Amino acid sequence: MLDHIAYSTGRLDGAASLPALLTAVFDGLELVERAATALAGPDADGARPGCAGALAEAGRARRALSGAPALRSAVHAGSGAERQELAEALGRFSMTLTEALVTATAWTTEPADRVACLRAALHLGRVAGALD
Q: What is the pLDDT of residues 5-38, one digit of tens each?
A: 999 999 999 989 888 888 899 899 888 888 888 8
Provide CB contacts within 8 A for 85, sequence distance 6+. none
Residues 85 and 69 in one domain: no
Residues 8 and 27 in one domain: yes
Task: Choose among 10, 68, 8: nearest CA to 32.
Answer: 8
Q: pTM score, two decimals?
A: 0.67
Range of the domain at 56: 1-76
Residues 65 and 89 in one domain: no
The domain boundary residue, chosen from 33, 49, 76: 76
Whole-number Å distance between alpha carbons of 22 and 74? 8
Q: What is the pLDDT of residues 92-106, one digit of tens each?
A: 888 998 999 999 999
Q: What is the pLDDT of residues 103-127, one digit of tens each?
A: 999 999 999 999 999 999 999 888 8
Chain centroid, CA 67 distance in Å: 17
